[in-house]
Amino acid sequence: MLREGTILQQNRYRITHLLGRGGMGAVYAAWHLSLEIPVALKELTPQADLDPQMLGQLRAQFKREAMTLARLNHNNLVRVLDSFEEGGNAYLVMEMVEGESLADRIGREGALAVPVVLRWAHQLLDALAYCHGQNVLHRDIKPTNIIIRPDEQAVLVDFGLVKLWDPRDPRTMTVVRGIGTPEYAPPEQYEAESGSTDVRSDIYGLGATLYHALAGQAPPTATKRIANPAALIPVHVLNPAIDPAIEAALMRALELRPIDRFQSAREMADALRAPSYASAQHYAPQRPPTSPPPPFPVHVLNPAIEAALMRALELRPIDRFQSAREMADALRAPSYAPAQHYAPQRPPTSPPPPQPRSQKTASPARTQPVPITKPPTRPPAQPAQQAMPQQVQRQMPQQAPQQLLQQGPQSMPSQLPHYLPPQPRPGRGKAIASIVAFILGIIGLVTTFIIPIYNLPFPLIGIVLSILGIRSKHQRGLAWAGLALCLLTLGLLALPALIGALQEFGNF
C-alpha cells in the first residue's frame, strides 16, 4: 500500500490519499506534478505466488489493455492517460472524475426516480456500445464503478477486469481474471474458461445495477437464482412506480442464459426507449431458437431409468428426489414414467406482477390461468418375486406388454395390475458353485485311495467353490458338505506325510 506523499515515475506523480481498495489492487488520488492536474492512479498488484512465465504474460496483457483503453474517447467513459510499471506493480493513470458514486447516491436516497435512472441508463448503454465496438468488455459494472458528475452525467470507471474481446475468436486474450462482484456478475463469468464471456455479460452487469438503483437493493447472486428462481423479487414489488415495459426490459437483461438477454447494448437501449416494449405483459420471451433442436436421443437405457436420472439432475433442489431412498425406489421400479421422456411442467415460481390500471380490462387470453400439470405419479413397486396369475397368463397374448407400453402408462395399471417383466434370478451362479464343490469333494475323496497326491487340485478347487456357495442363499447345505469333503481329502493326503515325519523324529 502506497503512503501519502509517495513519488512515482521519476517525480511525475505524487500520491495524495487512498480512494478505494479491492481484491485486484487499489485506487489512489494523485497529483500530476508536471501538468498540475489531479489524476486517479489504479494500482494492479499481481499475486505473490505467480510463476515467472505467468507474470510475463500478465505484463504483456496489461500493456495491450493500457494501449487499447488509451484510445477510447467517450463522454461517459473515464479516460486513460498513462500506464507504467514500478516496484513490481502495474499502474493505470486515469483522469479524476469529480462527483459521487451511484452506490453512495442509492445508500443516501434509497430507490431512485425512474426518469433519472433511465437517463443514466441511456448514457451508460451508449458508452458500452462504444466499448463493444472497440472489442473491449468491462466485466465489472456495478454502482461503485459509476460516478455521477455534478452535471448529472454518469461516467463508467475502473477497468480493472477489462477484457480484450475478439468476436471472430471465441478465445480471449485475458490471462488472469476476476469474477467481479457476485451480485452483478453473470453466471458465465464464474466459469474457469474466460472465453465464455462476451458483450451480453456487460448487459447483465448493467441490468443488475439498474435493478439496484430502481429497487433500492441489490439483486441476488446468479448462484442463488439458479438454486431458487423465486429469489429475484420483481421490481414493481419494491418500487410500484416502475412501468411494466421498463421492468420487462430489466428482467430480460437479468436472464441467466446469455441467449435470452439483449444481444447488444443498442438493443437494450431501444427497449428502454420504446414504451410499447412488452406493454402490460409479464416478461416471458418466446423467441425462435437460434439453432434447430437436437433430435431425440437413442434411448439405450430404460425410459424409467432415464426419467429418474433427469429428475436427480434438476437444478432446483425442490424438483429433485428428496432422499436417497426415494431415488433408489425410483430406479428399482420399472413402472416409473415408462416410455416417456422426463419433461415436468411446473408453474412459475415467482408471482406475476400486477396489471397496470390502463390494462385491467385485458383480453381473456392474457388473464387465463396457466394449467398446472404434475409429473406422473409412480405407483408403488410390487415385489420382484410376485408372478403373474396363471389365469392372466392364459388370457394375455405374447405381444401384450409391448402393446401396453405403446398405449402409455395410464393403461398399464388397469389392464395388467400385477405384471412385472421377468427379473433375473440372483445367486444362480453361486448355487451351481455349491453343486460343483460337492461333486469335487466326492471325486477327491474317492481318488485319494487310487491316485494320491495327483488328485490335489480337486479339493483345492472345491474349497474355493464351496466358499462362494456358502456366501449365497442357494444350496448352502451342499456347499458346506463339499467343503467338509474337500477338507477331509486334504487331511487324508497329509496323513501319510505326517506319520512319516513322526517316524523320522522318533528315529532321531
Q: For residue 287, which amino acid is it?
A: R
The torsion angles phi and psi of 84, rounded to 5 degrees, stand at: -160, 170
C-alpha 308/C-alpha 338 separation (Å) is 11
- Residue type at 422 in one-letter notation: P
Query: Closest Cα to residue 117, out of 266, 249, 255, 262?
Result: 249
Q: Which residue has the cell 400486477?
A: 354
Which string of b and e fits 322-360 if b means at least 16 CB within 10 Å? eeeeebebbbebebbbbbeebeeeeeeeeeebebeeeee
Nearest to 149 by CA among 96, 99, 94, 76: 99
Closest CA to 208 of 133, 140, 158, 285: 140
CA distances from 139 to 165, 212, 215, 298 (A): 11, 17, 22, 41
C-alpha to C-alpha distance for 283 and 252, rounded to whole angstroms = 7
CA distance 179 to 159: 13
Residues 33, 12 contacting (CB under 8 angstroms): yes
Alpha helices in 22-169 (DSSP H): 52-70, 102-109, 114-133
* Cα–Cα dist 241/214, whole Å: 9
Amino acid at 150: P
CB under 8 Å to 105, separation ≥6 — which residues?
112, 148
Distance CA 454, CA 414 (A): 65
Residues marked active site are found at 140
Q: How far apart are CA 468 and CA 440, in angstroms?
A: 14
